[in-house]
Amino acid sequence: MDNLVKICGLSTPETLDAALSAGADWVGFVRFARSPRHVDLDVGRELSRQARGRALRVVLLVDAEDTDIADAVEALQPDLFQLHGHETPERVAAIRKAFGRPVVKALGVAEAPDLAAVEAYEHAADHLLLDAKPPRGAGALPGGNGLSFDWRLLVGLDPGLSFMLSGGLNPDNVAEAIRLTGSRAVDVSSGVEVRPGIKDPGKIEAFVKAARAAYADRT
């Protein structure tokens, strides 16, 4: 992953088009029924077709059974999986092997000890997504909460696999996040929305531009 921008939680052709036109490298489709960004298999199939060849397609799953993964693969033909549940390293490795796609494992970060989990996934996942921990309590979503964590925790981090920075990023703070952490990949969902699940094409474009400018400044 190098100078990569991912727009996550896309659920309409119009906002997917905004992400693709802005030059997003990866686009994410959420398969989690409680999410305002959830796409059913028919909608996911169409969106995935629209993105094919223009960006890599990532399907987000949460502690999914093999049958659900197989359904998502058949309909969306994803290029990668992003796993947002309590998947162990063994489960991540098993999904990668069984479905023949690279896996991004999301890890929640609130304080330094949370980064100890990074090592456990070194040989199981292909990439990590370092995200804010979800809020506690019934009904909280495992991701897409628009919360950030203390980016200083990542300064000097050198995991054995590439990582993507996520959690509470938006067009106004992504440049500072890239500058501070040195991250080579960023991911956003809530920060380019007007309300949960409703993406804003203008914010998507502004986010991609701001991230690209920050990457360029660094080289």
Ligand X SMILES: O=C(O)c1ccccc1NCC(=O)[C@H](O)[C@H](O)COP(=O)(O)O
Residue 8 known to be catalytic: yes
Q: Is residue 171 a contact point for ligand X (CB under 6 A)?
A: no
Choose, from 79, 126, 131, 158, the residue flagged as catalytic.
Answer: 131
Please state, in angstroms and rounded to a whole number, the distance separating the CA atoms of residues 154 and 180: 9
Choose, from 2, 8, 150, 172, the residue flagged as catalytic.
Answer: 8
Q: Of these, 44, 108, 142, 171, which contacts ligand X (CB under 6 A)?
A: 142
Q: Is residue 48 a contact point for ligand X (CB under 6 A)?
A: no
Q: Of these, 18, 22, 24, 30, which contacts ligand X (CB under 6 A)?
A: 30
Please state, in angstroms and rounded to a whole number, the distance separating the CA atoms of residues 126 and 96: 9
Q: For residue 26, what are the contacts with CB-CB under 8 A and spacing of at least 6? A: 4, 5, 6, 7, 55, 56, 57, 58, 80, 187
Please, what's the largest Cα pairwise distance for the chain? Answer: 45
CB 82 within 8 A of CB 106: yes
Least distance from C-beta 89 to ligand X, angstroms? 19
Please give the backbone phi and psi of residue 31, each rounded to the nearest 5 degrees, phi first.
Answer: -115, 85
Q: Is residue 143 a contact point for ligand X (CB under 6 A)?
A: yes
DSSP states of 61-101: ESS--HHHHHHHHHHH--SEEEE-S---HHHHHHHHHHHT-
Least distance from C-beta 20 to ligand X, angstroms? 17
With contacts defined by CB under 6 A, how many residues of the chain interact with ligand X? 27
Looking at residues 52 to 81 of the shown chain, list those that interact with ligand X (rule: CB under 6 A).
Answer: 60, 62
Q: Of these, 25, 87, 187, 205, which contacts ligand X (CB under 6 A)?
A: 187
Q: Is residue 108 a contact point for ligand X (CB under 6 A)?
A: no
Residue 131 known to be catalytic: yes
Q: Of these, 20, 168, 181, 207, which contacts ligand X (CB under 6 A)?
A: 168
Helix (H, G, I), strand (E, B) or coil at 27: strand
Q: Is residue 32 a contact point for ligand X (CB under 6 A)?
A: yes
Neighbour-count burial of 152, counting CB atoms closer than 10 A to its CB (0-12 exposed, 13-18 middle, 19+ buried): exposed
Residue 81 pairs with which residues in a beta bridge? 59, 103
Chain residue whose CB lies nearest ligand X: 144
Nearer to ligand X, 13 or 135 (CB): 135
Active site residues: 8, 131
Which residues sit at the interface with ligand X, rule CB under 6 A?
A: 8-9, 28, 30, 32, 35, 37, 60, 62, 84, 131, 141-147, 166-169, 187-191
